[in-house]
Amino acid sequence: SAVISQKPSRDICQRGTSLTIQCQVDSQVTMMFWYRQQPGQSLTLIATANQGSEATYESGFVIDKFPISRPNLTFSTLTVSNMSPEDSSIYLCSVDLAGMHGDTQYFGPGTRLTVL
Amino acid sequence: GNSVTQMEGPVTLSEEAFLTINCTYTATGYPSLFWYVQYPGEGLQLLLKATKADDKGSNKGFEATYRKETTSFHLEKGSVQVSDSAVYFCALSDFTGGENKLTFGTGTQLKVEL
């Protein structure tokens, strides 16, 4: 498996501001993913982030709202821009260790965001 | 498209009871199947997986068998403990187009009481 950390673990933010969430992995991985888990709900994929290319966003998610960086093979950031209370969720990053463990994704501990 | 259907929760059991959480799936190809567990206040942890028909995944006393004929991947444990209280997510992985995309079920909350 992999050791995945996220910062911050939680935050409370004001409406209209932006928050950048960091995801760090202890090994080099090609594919990283960002998910949103709204209160009491399942996980929804926001985007796939491959190093050296633009992130691929799922339907309903746009780059202006959720810009993603992937500067190297161990790190990625997700920014939640111009936040509203509807953005209150847990945001999780995951990595695909394909080639080491097949097609399994391993998840970080999540960032719990509350927007007032 | 792909989809995963889980039984509704919460499921409340007494300690040492038998657990079954049903999961069925719809997929166009030959997906891998997973169970993830989310303990209160934490992220997701991989519990077990199966990559082809008739495979059985197992971990920590939990088991699930990949049944292609019934498109199911039910989670079972013979004797649950209070520490098993968590939300359990069934998921499938579709490697279409070279990207590993996970589709999750809605999650089933398990509460185990003394």
Chain B CB within 8 Å of residue A87 CB: no
Structure confidence at residue A30 (pLDDT): 85
Amino acid at B14: S
Structure confidence at residue A19 (pLDDT): 98
Gyration radius of chain B over CA positions: 14
Count CB neighbours of B98 within 10 A.
7
Q: Are B106 and B6 in contact (CB under 8 A)?
A: yes
Rounded percentage of chain B residues whose pLDDT exceeds 90: 75
Structure confidence at residue B9 (pLDDT): 86
Mean pLDDT of B20-28: 94
pLDDT averaged over chain A?
91
* b/e map A52-76, b = 16+ CB within 10 Å: eeebebeeebeeebbbbebeebbeb
Question: Per-residue pLDDT for A102 more than 90?
Answer: no
Question: Per-residue pLDDT for B97 more than 70?
Answer: no
Q: Which of A27-31, B22-26, B33-37 has the lowest mean pLDDT?
A: A27-31
* Spatial CA neighbour of B44 closest among A106, A35, A47, A38: A106
pLDDT digits (tens, 9 = 90+) for B42-96: 889 999 999 989 999 999 999 999 999 999 999 999 999 999 999 999 999 877 6
Chain B CB within 8 Å of residue A32 CB: no
Do B107 and A103 count as a contact with CB atoms less than 8 A apart?
Answer: no
Label residue B98 by pLDDT band (50, 70, 90). Answer: low
Structure confidence at residue B8 (pLDDT): 85
Q: Tell me which chain A residues have a C-beta less than 8 angstroms from the C-beta of B92.
A: none
Chain B CB within 8 Å of residue A73 CB: no
Half-sphere exposure of B6 (CA within 13 A, CB side): 27
Structure confidence at residue B101 (pLDDT): 81
**Alpha-carbon span A95 to B46, nearest angstrom:** 12
Do B43 and A109 count as a contact with CB atoms less than 8 A apart?
Answer: yes
Mean pLDDT of A2-10: 93
pLDDT digits (tens, 9 = 90+) for A28-64: 988 899 999 998 888 999 999 988 888 999 999 999 9
Distance from CA of B26 to the nearest CA of A (A): 17
Q: Tell me which chain A residues have a C-beta less than 8 angstroms from the C-beta of B49.
A: 104
Question: Per-residue pLDDT for B111 more than 80?
Answer: yes
Do B89 and A96 count as a contact with CB atoms less than 8 A apart?
Answer: no
Label residue A98 by pLDDT band (50, 70, 90). Answer: low
Nearest residue, CB atoms, B89 vs list A42, A94, A102: A42
Do B102 and A105 count as a contact with CB atoms less than 8 A apart?
Answer: yes
Structure confidence at residue B39 (pLDDT): 92
Do B43 and A106 count as a contact with CB atoms less than 8 A apart?
Answer: no
